[in-house]
Chains A and B, each alone.
Chain A
Amino acid sequence: MQSERLSSPLPLARAWLWLAAVPLWWLVYLQLTPLSDALFALLPLSRADALGEAVYFFIFEVPKVLLLLTAVVFVMGVVRSYFSAEHTRALLAGRAEGVGNVLAALLGVVTPFCSCSAVPLFIGFLSAGVPLGVTLSFLIAAPMVNEIALGLLFAMFGWKIAALYLGLGLAVAMLAGWIIGRLKLEGWVEDWVLARPKTAASVSDAGLHWRERIDAGQDAVVDIVGKVWPYVLLGIAAGAGIHGYVPADFMAGLMGREAWWSVPLAVLFGVPMYSNAAGIIPVVEALLSKGAALGTVLAFMMSVIALSFPEMVILRKVLKPQLIATFIAVVAAGILLVGYVFNLVL
């Protein structure tokens, strides 16, 4: 396909500026505590009272979260410039189930994806001979392992939780796609999609200049961070607000580990809810800090992000209602399992 990126790569000076920003970023990140301490010292507040503690929390968390989010989004943008839907399709075409599901889920994370492209992607994959279950593994992984969620989890809870989220998201995508493939549900794909002529999966890899890859990272930062920062501020402000005022075990009875019914309930509430990752993470943070169990909260988050009503409406164009229902059921079951396993292990 003759898709050209921007006609000319980023000016050299600006590309170098981005590279020079890396050590600067690191320096600021390492000095966050003294910097926020110094800033806080300028205010007539004390960390001994609830208000001071809330303000300090805000001053410290905002730069930290924005720095980490920018870094993750930038790196993801550069990584994704190495992948394209055509490339992914060629890698998946004719691949056996099993291996195909694993590969599809992994590629789903790194291939640029927008949920409004779900339908052309679905048709394009199927008509190039990518099995239905493998295609669905890709379509589940792409929204489920979300770079904003990954970046924010990393920023707020550390790399272990972020890695866990990544691993579990991949596991659900692989498993759900594999199960749907085993069920042989091709008949529940809309007839007009199946009737389309088969096409060969071909790639014309242009090979980008390194400056164009930096450019892709910059695009991602401008696009994503530029859009979600108000939600992040709002979320941290809410988190700071309830920091001192809501009792720490407030959620423990409702969403704690002891309540077995809390995981299915979380998924049940999460599926019809629709929010972008930036909106949901602060809620996650608040729930966790008030005693909710991690598995329950992750299950809630995953069902909100991965199963969204607008995406189902989009997919309805190519999937019959039975397959949509199966899709939701299988993914929800996978998320349920993740929630229980998490609560058991931790």
Chain B
Amino acid sequence: MKIQILGSGCQKCQKLAEYATQAADELGLDYTLEKITDPGTIVDMGVMQTPALAVDGVVKLAGHLAGVEALKPLLRG
């Protein structure tokens, strides 16, 4: 599966990437993590508020940070 972190690289985006990595590792998922920083691409994915998280191209979270435990159900699908 592909986990995408959308955001310009601000503090919250880096936190989200960190938490998502931890959550995915704890779940034992087979994944690749991609950071999308280009604003055009972010808008094309339907996101206006960062940080955002997409799994296999589907936006699961936008506009705010979520903790490791809250991210797990989103990653599990």
CA distance A89 to B70 in the complex (A): 28
Among B13, B62, B65, point to the contact of A3 (Cβ < 8 A). Answer: B62
Interface centre among A114, A124, A196, A317 (most CB of B within 10 A): A114
A residues in contact with B63, CB < 8 Å:
3, 84-85, 112, 114, 117
A residues in contact with B49, CB < 8 Å:
84-85, 112-114, 117, 120-121
Would you call B22 an interface residue if the criterion is a C-beta within 8 Å of the partner chain's C-beta atoms? no
Among A4, A84, A223, point to the contact of B60 (Cβ < 8 A). Answer: A4
**A1 with B47: CB separation less than 8 A:** yes
**A120 with B12: CB separation less than 8 A:** no
Among A112, A196, A219, point to the contact of B40 (Cβ < 8 A). Answer: A196
**B8 with A314: CB separation less than 8 A:** yes
**Shortest Cβ distance from B39 into A: residue:** A119
Among B12, B48, B58, B65, point to the contact of A2 (Cβ < 8 A). Answer: B58
Interface centre among A113, A117, A127 (most CB of B within 10 A): A117
Nearest CB of B to A198, in Å = 12
Would you call B46 an interface residue if the criterion is a C-beta within 8 Å of the partner chain's C-beta atoms? yes
Binary contact track B1-45/A, C-beta < 8 Å → 1, others 0: 000000110101100000000000000000000000001101100
Would you call A245 an interface residue if the criterion is a C-beta within 8 Å of the partner chain's C-beta atoms? no
**B61 with A4: CB separation less than 8 A:** yes
A residues in contact with B61, CB < 8 Å:
3-4
Would you call A116 an interface residue if the criterion is a C-beta within 8 Å of the partner chain's C-beta atoms? yes
Q: How large is the interface on B (under 10, 10 to 19, 20 to 34, 35 or more residues)?
A: 20 to 34
CA distance A224 to B13 in the complex (A): 17
CA distance A127 to B44 in the complex (A): 11
Binary contact track A62-91/B, C-beta < 8 Å → 1, others 0: 000000000000000000000011100100
CA distance A120 to B6 in the complex (A): 10
Among B47, B64, B66, B70, point to the contact of A120 (Cβ < 8 A). Answer: B47
CA distance A8 to B10 in the complex (A): 27
Among A116, A125, A318, point to the contact of B10 (Cβ < 8 A). Answer: A116
A-contacting residues, B44-59, CB 8 Å: 46-50, 52, 58-59
Would you call A7 an interface residue if the criterion is a C-beta within 8 Å of the partner chain's C-beta atoms? yes
Interface centre among A6, A121, A317 (most CB of B within 10 A): A6
B-contacting residues, A306-339, CB 8 Å: 314, 317-318
Nearest CB of B to A43, in Å = 40
Q: Lowest 4 A-B CB distances belong to which pairs?
A: A116-B10, A124-B48, A3-B62, A7-B73
